[in-house]
Structure 1
Amino acid sequence: MTRHRLRVLIVSASLAVSFGAATATAHADANAVPDYEVKLDFLASAIDGSGVPTSAVRSAFGLSATASTRSYEYFDTGSRALKGQGWSVRLRHKSGKDLELNYKKRFDVTNGNVDAALSTANSAGFDSSDTNYDAQVDWGYAQQELSFSNDKSSSASTYSGTTLPGESTARGLLVSNIPGKLDDWTSKNWGTDRLSESAAHGPVTTKVYSGSWQGTAPSIEVLTVPAASGSGTQTVIEFSFTVDTRSEASNLRSQAISIADGKGWLYHGDILKTDLILDRL
């Protein structure tokens, strides 16, 4: 091969590589844009003897004294295979509504670096192009977590109140509606196999007090789970609201913490309801 011919081949190969890289870059999908749910846990001093948020709490956050009711349960294997891969699967029934099927993939947010978590999620296939999943950052007292939720529904016409289907029926419903990302997460039909061998954790039935505060729609959810000791119960009181942007979440979270802490209602930590239900029910 002549020197001239060799140089032409090298230049052509370089152009091909450059063009391929440019094409890959041009078609790379951007990171997802999450909304933000602020979640703060309150102490028992925030509710009265009947489990209703006190009048002072309701006044501070514009909450109603009348509650709506919901029941829900999670499904996982005995070894927590779904949780181990960052997935949770929940079936929920709000009074008067259809059954809600929720499949959620979670990503850790380290040192408040949401953008890094979004990039990690992008590399796992969760990006701005996937309209089947809603991206959200849970922002608690001490930690943040990024999640992507796929929500589906099923008729609850045969279930009164907040009643849930029996375990076998519920599991079959969740398996038949499983989204592709979960189903083929580590291998073909991995999610279906794990859900098929899963058990229900729950249900729990909770009271939710909703309202209006600072342009948001806050709520306090009150639920009871068995205590960690195995004797007695633990009541969880979770205050939450959702906003569109990080800056708005930061501002209103600071305000909510200031109000709750000043009144002696704030728990200085994060209580993960999903883990409590999986571990204790």
Structure 2
Amino acid sequence: MKSVWKKAAAAVLAGGLIATIGMQSGERAQAASSVMVPGYEVKLLLSPAAALGSDGKPSPALASAFGLGSAQSIGVEYFDTGSLDLNSKGWDVRFRKKADKSNFEISYKKRYPIVNGNINAALEQARLEGFTSSDDNYEAEIDWNYSKQTLSISTEKKKSASGYSGTALPAESKALGMAVDEIPGKLENWSASGWGKGKLSAARAHGPVAVSKYTGAFDGLETDLEIWPIRSASGTGTETIVEVSFKTDDAGEAAAERDKLIAFVQGKGWLVPQDSLKTQLILERY
């Protein structure tokens, strides 16, 4: 009889232990599959005619208003197929070299549109497609332009730029090879096994663009000003994009400081009330 009771007790204990382990596993799975926590980047366009001097650099008034330092030069290009297959699925692959750095930076970014300000819906869609809070090698950010928001989820890889000076980029085939070699698994197998790697392998360079970046401050927040001379739609001239931006992890601060920044640059006559589409322009014009 004691043997029977021991077996019964063991079964109950084992059952309870299995149930506990099951609950813990479920809790871990739920935690692992929760949505990402984004930061915020506010971006506004400024009028080149109003904000820049005749030399294409920030005017004295603009430089003074934001306390801008000296320029950082950056060479930037994007990789996609001629028909922009990656971009059509929300992916952008950027290759860049900062003049003061000794490596190339390759970023892989997935974008999700935010409809009617519903950030949670975009984060949930990203979670369903595999971007969760456990992805500590990816960063989520809400790009907040003048009239729209976009959820951007990105990861960055670095490769040695030994032998390259300034903002010089490698030959197209070499840069593409680096981008393909470093492709993250999520992009590599996005629509189907090997889809992303196949599309990226067939891509070409869109660019390069010689970017000038200045750092200053607005209302106590570090603020960047970037000047992007992009090929014009006709292909015979240049369309200069001037963008001012700041980052914060706090949604409330992002909203409040965005309102202040809009009012400030509008009052100075610098604001262009449109959204920044510089990546799309580069992909389409080069």
Q: Distance in 1 between matches of 2:93 and 2:35?
A: 24
* Equivalent residue letter for 1:35: G
2:272 counterpart residue number: 267
Matches within 5 A, 1:86-235: 86-97=90-101, 98-235=103-240
2:107 partner SS: strand
1:120 partner SS: helix
2:76 counterpart residue number: 72
Q: Percent identity?
A: 46
Deviation of residue 213 (structure 1)? Answer: 2.5
Unaligned regions of 5+ residues in structure 1, if any?
1-18
* Equivalent residue letter for 1:41: L
Deviation of residue 30 (structure 1)? Answer: 1.7
Q: Distance in 2 between matches of 1:189 and 1:20?
A: 34
2:157 partner SS: strand
2:271 partner SS: coil
2:86 partner SS: helix
Deviation of residue 265 (structure 1)? Answer: 0.2
1:85 counterpart residue number: 89
Deviation of residue 24 (structure 1)? Answer: 4.9
2:35 counterpart residue number: 31
Q: Distance in 1 between matches of 2:166 and 2:28?
A: 51
Q: Distance in 2 between matches of 1:260 and 1:270?
A: 15
Deviates more, 1:212-221 or 1:241-250: 212-221
Q: Distance in 1 between matches of 2:28 and 2:247?
A: 33
Question: Is it true that 1:54 corresponds to 2:56 in the alignment?
Answer: no
Deviation of residue 219 (structure 1)? Answer: 1.1
Kept in 1: contact 2:43–2:276 (CA 8 A): no
Residues matched between the structures, number: 262
Kept in 1: contact 2:72–2:100 (CA 8 A): no
List per-residue Cα deviations over 1:24-59 (Å, max 9, x = no partner): 576222211111011000002011111111122222
TM score, norm. by length of structure 2: 0.88
TM score, norm. by length of structure 1: 0.89
Unaligned regions of 5+ residues in structure 2, if any?
1-20
Deviation of residue 22 (structure 1)? Answer: 10
Deviates more, 1:157-166 or 1:213-222: 213-222
* Equivalent residue letter for 1:27: A
* Equivalent residue letter for 1:205: A
Deviation of residue 180 (structure 1)? Answer: 0.3
* Equivalent residue letter for 1:79: S
